[in-house]
Amino acid sequence: MHKRQRLFSFAPVTAAIIERMNNEGKQKRFAAKPLVLVLVAVTFFVLGNVIGTGRLKLPFANRGYASVSGLPKDLDYSGVEDVYDELRTNYDGKLTAEQLETGLKKGLAEATGDPYTEYFTAKEAADFEGQVNGTFTGIGAELGEDSDGNIIIVAPIAGNPAEKAGVQAQDIIARINGESTTGMSIDDAVSKIRGEKGTTVKLSLIRDKSQALDLTITRDSIQIKSVKWEVQDDDIGYITISTFGSDTPDLIHQAATELKDKNVKGVVLDLRGNPGGILDSAVAVSSEWLPQDKTVLQEKRGSVVLDTYKSTGSALLAGIPTVVLIDQGSASASEITAGALKDNNAARLIGEKSYGKGVVQQPICIGGGRQSDGNCSDAMLKVTVASWYRPNGQNINKKGIEPDQKVTISDEDVAAKNDTQKTAAIDYLKAKQ
């Protein structure tokens, strides 16, 4: 029996998403960032974003959602056949039936105008799910889109090739190996950035909409231990979560237990650059601060509440002054956790406004069902089915979460390795002692 998982994965294809997957009768949910195409493999997150392929007939996909109002039961494909006949007769180039059929499926998903609704081929689905499971090769970054439609770096994954090469959150990717990204989908960008371990990819970046950079990055296997912790000066525990993975619940509990045993007087929870991940992991993290049965988030479709997620953990860190660090790279599951701790008066938020992904996707296997490992055996449709709301009732989609104390890090601070946000967090906690 596989453990139920939910993901909030990176924005647009990764950015904060709540993805739902069912395995052996149980659903998996993912909260991904904008597409967080975790380039790490893809990413953003693939997790980056998101799954989307669908066949709504699978029994595990039937959640009782009402059909979209106004749409006919079946589409009239006569016009599609007309276009196909003209292409088949007149197109001066090479085409295959598979290419055209895949284009039709992707086109249906893209017609929604929703960056989180996507169709994945079998290979793309495998890549996405591999990233969700923490197995992939790439540069280790999450991709998304800005308000102008540019493909951007939502966040480089700490300790991986993108970060080491100098890639920063909000960098615009102008070209990939010399090819313009104008009009390119996040999925296509991820596919072009990914590759075999040891090979390189050249990214032409625009930083702060003014500075042009060319970086050549060597791809590598992306291995991420999602939680790290230590006790710093003045008895302050410092926890960093890089992604909300399947290992996060056990690791956060280990961290909470150790910090509690060491009688820390304050805790910094660093979620900066965290593109999201598994929903259950976000609940588990929040539960280390919140007493049982406190609301972590609600999932709604329109005004109808579909699910309410409550804290379930031991609340080992409850009552210990806590600061959560967030920035523009904090998405989906990171935003869920930050919002839950803030709204339940368990933490203060310091840093910059988070990414802003407040919608829910459901990944549906197309054409082949699920394998014994829970992954789709064929294609996949990731479709937006609902929105998620903070305990205070707010939806943060395209808005993000504002910190209680805004603290920025300048380029000069970066060069001097002066982490002004961390300093502000520690100063606040010292004052509480």
Burial 263-297 (b: 16+ CB within 10 A, else e): ebebbbbbbbbbbbbbbbbbbbbbbbbbeeebbbb
139 neighbors 39 (Cβ within 8 angstroms): yes
Q: In the annotation, is 332 catalytic? A: yes
Which letter does DSSP use for residue 44 in this model?
B
Distance, in Å, from the CA atom of 276 to the CA atom of 44, rounded to the nearest integer, reads 9
The verdict on whether 85 is a catalytic residue reads: no
Question: CA nearest 339: which of 375, 389, 377?
Answer: 389
Residue 141, strand partner residues: 156
* Whether residue 343 lies in the annotated active site: yes
Q: Of 28, 357, 382, 422, which residue is the catalytic one? A: 357
Side-by-side strand order, sheet with 322-326? 227-232, 236-241, 266-270, 322-326, 348-351, 405-406
* Given the residues 300, 343, 354, 422, the one annotated as active site: 343
Please check whether residue 172 is in contact with residue 66, taking contact to mean a CB–CB distance below 8 angstroms. no
For residues 255 and 284, the answer to whether their CB atoms sit within 8 Å is: no
The single-letter DSSP state of residue 67 is P
Of 311, 332, 334, 354, which is the active-site residue? 332
Largest CA distance in the chain: 77
Say how far apart CA 199 and CA 29 lie, in whole Å: 33
- Residue 14 three-state SS: helix
Active site amino acids? 332, 343, 357
